[in-house]
Chains A and B, each alone.
Chain A
C-alpha cells in the first residue's frame, strides 16, 4: 500500500502542486505585462488560493460533484473502503458523519497541541521581565499564532462534537448533505497548513485581530493567514448550513424542537451565527488582502507607498474593526454555546434528574445568539467611533448577562435535589461551570465603558477571554471527550488518570486566569513581550511566574488526558453500551456504533430528560405495532 492511498497525502501533494502552479501563473502574467517575473507577495497570494483548490482536488472531496457535471453516476458507498484497510477511511474522504466527526475532533486536538505549545513558549518568555530568548517580532507572531490556531482548534472541536452527535441525538441516519459535510472538514486542512506555513515566510505581527494599517504593512505571512482563515470560514458556513438543515428536517416522528436533546439547541443557535456572521470576517480579511495585493485603499486613510504597490488612500481603519468584530464577537458565542450545551446535556445524566427549565435553557441560547449580533461595538469602546453609540452597545452587552444567568441558575436547579455522581465527565462539567462563572463575572466590568477604559487592551481582557474560552469550550469539550469516548471506541478510559487530570487542570486554570486578570489591573498591557517589573508594587513578576507555572500544569494535564485516550482506545476495559445510564438515543445502540447507527427508524415516545420518572423512555426503534 503506497502512501498515496491516503487521501490526505494526495491532498497535501495537490496543495504543493497548486501552490507551484499558482506561482508560475503569476510569473507568466507578470512576464506578459512586461514586469519583473518574480514578486513574492502576488506569487504567494495566488499560489495560496490555488493551493486550497489543489488540496481539495487531490484529496478527492470534489470528485463526486465533478463526476455529476459529466453525468457519471456516483452510487453512495457505505462502510470502510473495499480494497484498503478500514483505518484508512479516517485519512481520506468519507461521507459517514461519525468518521467526519472523529476527523474534526482529532484535527482540532492536533491544532490545540500546536497552539498550546506556542503559548508555552511565550509564557516562558513572560515568566520574567526583560527579554530572555524570543525576539520582539517572533513574540508578536507567536501571540497571533496562538490566538488564531486556537480559534481554528475550537471551531474544529465544535464541528467535531456537532457532526458526531447531532445526527445520533436526533436519531437520524446521517447529516442532510454528507458530501458537503466532508467538504466542510477538508477545507480545514489546507487552511491550517497555510496558517502554519505563514510563520516560515515572515509571520505576521498584528495579533489574530490583524488590524490594519499594521496588517496592511506587515510581512507576506499575512496573505497566507488571511486565505487560511478564509478557508476555515468556508468550512464554518457549509458546516453550519448542513447542521441547520439536519436539525430542521431530519428529526424523527414525535421529536418536536422542544423534545430535542438540549445540545442540539446549542448547535442550532451556533449554526445560525456561523451561517450569517462568518462572511464578515472573510470579507474584512479579503479586503486587507486585496488592499495589500492591488493597492486598494479600503482601510488606508492617507495613501502610503506600500511595499507592493502605492495605496490611494481614502479608507478608514475603524471600518475594518466594525466588519471584523461583527463576526468575531458572535464567534465567541459560536465557541461557547455548544460547550454550554454539553454542560446542560451532561448535568441531568450525572445528577439523575430532569434538566431544570429545559425551554428556558434552549431559548437562552437563542437569546445569546441574537444579542451576539448587536454587541460588537464593545470591542471598540476606545477605537474612536461615535461617542454616543457606546451607550447602546453597553446596554446590549450587559443584557447578555441575563440569558447567561438563566443558564447558571437552571444548572443549579438541575443539581439541587439530585443524586450526583462524580465521574470524570461530571467533574469537567463542574470545572466548566466554575471557570465560565469567572469568565462571565469578569464581563460586566469590561462592558461598562468607564471601567473598560483602564482595562481595555490590558491583560485583564486576556484573563477574561481565557476564562470564557476554557469554561465555555475547553472544559466542556474535555467533558465531552471523556463522556463519549466509550461510545466512540467501545472502551473505557482510565478513571483515575481522568480524575488526576481534572484535579491538576482546574486549580491551575483558576490560578492562571486570576493571575492574568490581576496583572491586567496592575497595568500590564496585552501583547507585549517585556513588561515593567515595577508594576503592582513590584509584585508583577511573581504573578507572571505563577501564571506560567499554571500554564505548564494545564499542558501537563492535557498530555495526561491524551495519553489516557491513546492507551485505552484499543485495549481499555469494554465499556458496555450505556455506562452512564443516559436516556439519549446514541446510548441505546451498541458501542462502538455500527455503520448504520440505528437498526430501524427511531420514534420518540417521551421526554429527553425524564430521569426519576419510572418506566419512561425517550426513543424507541420498535415499530408502533410492537408496543
Chain B
C-alpha cells in the first residue's frame, strides 16, 4: 500500500531518459482512476515507476536485514543477571529492528535518488513537483501508530518494573564521594560491598550523603540516581549467581570513575550464612 501511494505521487524519469517522452514524467496524478491502455505512454510510465519502487523495496528489505544483523553482532550488551533484563533486552531488540528498517528506508531511497537522478552534466532543471498532501499525511499518521505502539509497551513494562512486591527484600544504600555503604535492615549490618540472595525480588532504598550518584550494575540493566535528602527506589530480581560491579553513573567529582562496589549474587543458603556472620560480627 505504501508503494502504491508513493507512485501515485512521485514521478520518475527513466535511468537513461531517452525512452520516455517528457509527458511521461509530468503530472502522474492524471493516471489515478483511469484505465490505462497497454502500450500507451501512460502504461510505460507506470511500469517504469513500478520498476523503481520494486527495486527500492527489495533493496530496503535486504538493507534492513543486513543492518539488523550488523547491529546485533557488533553491539555487545553486558551479560544479563536479573529477571528484568529479559523484557528490557527484548524491547531493545525491537528498537534495533525499527532502527534497521528506518535507516534502510531513508538510505536506500536517498542513495537510489542520488544515483538515478544525478545531473550527468545536464544543466537543466528537475521535475516541477511541489509535494503531495496525501503522502505527507501518510508519513505523519503511520509513524504515530509506531510511536504509540512503542510508548504503550514501554509503559506497561515500566509499570511492571516499578511495581512493589510484598515479598521484596529491602536493602538501603548510601552513596558518598566515592564509595557505597549498604545497610541490611533485618540484621543492621553495614557493608561496603553488596551481597544479594539469588531469585529474590530486591528493593534498594537509595540515598546520598553528599552529591548526586547513580546506582548502576550494567548486568542488572536498571539504573537510579541517588539524591541527597531524598530516598529513591530501584527494584530487580537477580537470577544468576556471580560477581558484578556496581558503577556510579552520575558525575560526582574527582574519583567518579572509580566509585565502584562489588556486587555478589549468592545462593539462598550462602546468603543466610553471610547474614548470620554479619550479625555475629555486630554483636562482638
| Residues on A facing B (Cβ under 8 Å) | 136-137, 140, 205-207, 211-214, 217-218, 301-302, 316-318, 351-358, 360, 382-384, 387, 390-391, 394-395, 398-399, 401-402, 405-406, 408-410, 412-413, 415-422, 430, 433-434, 437-438, 441-442, 444-445, 448-451, 453-454, 456-458, 517-518, 521-523, 525-532, 535-537, 539, 610-613
- Residue in B closest to A218 when the chains form the complex, CB atoms: B253
Q: Give 15 A-B pairs besides A213-B211, A412-B106, A457-B214 with Cβ atoms closer than 8 angstroms.
A: A140-B253, A211-B251, A214-B212, A318-B227, A360-B140, A384-B230, A405-B139, A408-B106, A419-B118, A445-B92, A456-B249, A527-B257, A610-B128, A612-B129, A613-B128
Which of B29-37, B109-117, B181-189, B265-273 lies at the interface?
B109-117
A394 touches B75 (CB 8 A): no
Check A612/B125 contact, CB under 8 A, given A213-B210, A405-B143, A418-B117: yes
A453 touches B140 (CB 8 A): no
- Is B61's beta carbon under 8 Å from chain A? no
Which A residues lie within 8 Å of B211 (CB)? Answer: 211-214, 217
Which A residues lie within 8 Å of B110 (CB)? Answer: 412, 415, 430, 433-434
The minimal Cβ–Cβ distance linking B124 to chain A, given in whole angstroms, is: 6
Q: Considering the chains assembled together, what is the distance between the CA atoms of A559 and B200 in angstroms?
A: 57
- Is B203's beta carbon under 8 Å from chain A? no
Which of B130-138, B165-173, B190-198, B274-282 lies at the interface?
B130-138
A360 touches B136 (CB 8 A): yes
B245's partner among A351, A398, A409, A532 (CB-CB below 8 A) is A532
B76's partner among A415, A522, A526 (CB-CB below 8 A) is A522
Which B residues lie within 8 Å of A433 (CB)? Answer: 106, 110
Q: Considering the chains assembled together, what is the distance between the CA atoms of A449 and B223 in angstroms?
A: 10
A416's partner among B10, B106, B225, B249 (CB-CB below 8 A) is B10
The minimal Cβ–Cβ distance linking A415 to chain B, given in whole angstroms, is: 4
The minimal Cβ–Cβ distance linking B163 to chain A, given in whole angstroms, is: 10
A302 touches B229 (CB 8 A): yes
- Is B263's beta carbon under 8 Å from chain A? no
Q: Considering the chains assembled together, what is the distance between the CA atoms of A143 and B9 in angstroms?
A: 48
A417 touches B74 (CB 8 A): no
Which A residues lie within 8 Å of B158 (CB)? Answer: 390-391, 394, 449-450
| Residues on B facing A (Cβ under 8 Å) | 10-13, 25, 74-78, 87-88, 91-92, 95-96, 98-99, 102-103, 106-107, 109-110, 113-114, 117-120, 122, 124-132, 135-136, 139-140, 143-144, 147, 150-151, 154-155, 157-158, 161-162, 210-212, 214, 216, 218, 221-225, 227-230, 232, 245, 247-258
Give 11 A-B contacts (CB < 8 Å), ordered by A residue: A211-B212, A352-B125, A352-B126, A398-B151, A401-B143, A413-B132, A415-B110, A415-B117, A421-B119, A422-B118, A531-B257
- Residue in B closest to A400 when the chains form the complex, CB atoms: B147
Which A residues lie within 8 Å of B124 (CB)? Answer: 352, 419
4 nearest A-B pairs in the assembled complex, by CB-CB distance: A301-B229, A528-B257, A418-B126, A353-B126
Q: Considering the chains assembled together, what is the distance between the CA atoms of A187 and B76 in angstroms?
A: 46
B113 touches A394 (CB 8 A): no
Q: Considering the chains assembled together, what is the distance between the CA atoms of A39 and B155 in angstroms?
A: 52
A445 touches B12 (CB 8 A): no
Q: Considering the chains assembled together, what is the distance between the CA atoms of A527 and B255 in angstroms?
A: 11
B252 touches A214 (CB 8 A): yes
A357 touches B117 (CB 8 A): no
Which B residues lie within 8 Å of A136 (CB)? Answer: 254-255, 257
Q: Considering the chains assembled together, what is the distance between the CA atoms of A537 and B77 in angstroms?
A: 10
Check A302/B228 contact, CB under 8 A, given A445-B95, A522-B76, A523-B218: yes
Q: Considering the chains assembled together, what is the distance between the CA atoms of A441 and B87 in angstroms?
A: 21
Which B residues lie within 8 Å of A521 (CB)? Answer: 75-77
Check A382/B221 contact, CB under 8 A, given A316-B229, A415-B117, A416-B109: no
Q: Considering the chains assembled together, what is the distance between the CA atoms of A524 and B129 in angstroms?
A: 48
Q: Considering the chains assembled together, what is the distance between the CA atoms of A352 and B119 in angstroms?
A: 9
Which B residues lie within 8 Å of A451 (CB)? Answer: 88, 91-92, 95, 154
> Which of B75, B76, B129, B258 has most chain A Cβ within 10 Å?
B76
A457 touches B229 (CB 8 A): no
Which B residues lie within 8 Å of A218 (CB)? Answer: 253
Q: Considering the chains assembled together, what is the distance between the CA atoms of A570 and B257 in angstroms?
A: 50
The minimal Cβ–Cβ distance linking B105 to chain A, given in whole angstroms, is: 9
The minimal Cβ–Cβ distance linking B216 to chain A, given in whole angstroms, is: 8
Check A410/B113 contact, CB under 8 A, given A318-B230, A418-B126, A450-B158: no
A387 touches B155 (CB 8 A): no
B212 touches A354 (CB 8 A): no
A412's partner among B75, B113, B132, B143 (CB-CB below 8 A) is B113
B212 touches A612 (CB 8 A): no
B222 touches A453 (CB 8 A): yes
Check A417/B229 contact, CB under 8 A, given A211-B212, A356-B129, A387-B162: no
B128 touches A354 (CB 8 A): yes
B154's partner among A301, A394, A416 (CB-CB below 8 A) is A394
The minimal Cβ–Cβ distance linking A344 to chain B, given in whole angstroms, is: 12
Q: Considering the chains assembled together, what is the distance between the CA atoms of A382 and B143 in angstroms?
A: 27
Which A residues lie within 8 Å of B232 (CB)? Answer: 384
Q: Considering the chains assembled together, what is the distance between the CA atoms of A354 and B162 in angstroms?
A: 51
Which B residues lie within 8 Å of A406 (CB)? Answer: 136, 139-140
Which A residues lie within 8 Å of B103 (CB)? Answer: 437-438, 441
- Residue in A closest to B250 when the chains form the complex, CB atoms: A457
Q: Considering the chains assembled together, what is the distance between the CA atoms of A214 and B209 in angstroms?
A: 12
A356 touches B229 (CB 8 A): no
A444 touches B10 (CB 8 A): no
A394 touches B222 (CB 8 A): no
B247's partner among A352, A360, A402, A523 (CB-CB below 8 A) is A523
- Residue in B closest to A303 when the chains form the complex, CB atoms: B229
Check A410/B131 contact, CB under 8 A, given A301-B230, A454-B218, A523-B218: yes
Q: Considering the chains assembled together, what is the distance between the CA atoms of A456 and B228 in angstroms?
A: 20
Q: Considering the chains assembled together, what is the distance between the CA atoms of A13 and B140 in angstroms?
A: 55
Which A residues lie within 8 Å of B230 (CB)? Answer: 301, 316, 318, 384
B10 touches A518 (CB 8 A): no
Q: Considering the chains assembled together, what is the distance between the CA atoms of A72 and B156 in angstroms?
A: 69
Which B residues lie within 8 Å of A438 (CB)? Answer: 103
B122 touches A419 (CB 8 A): yes
Which A residues lie within 8 Å of B249 (CB)? Answer: 456-458, 525
Check A399/B212 contact, CB under 8 A, given A383-B227, A525-B257, A531-B257: no
Which A residues lie within 8 Å of B78 (CB)? Answer: 522-523, 535
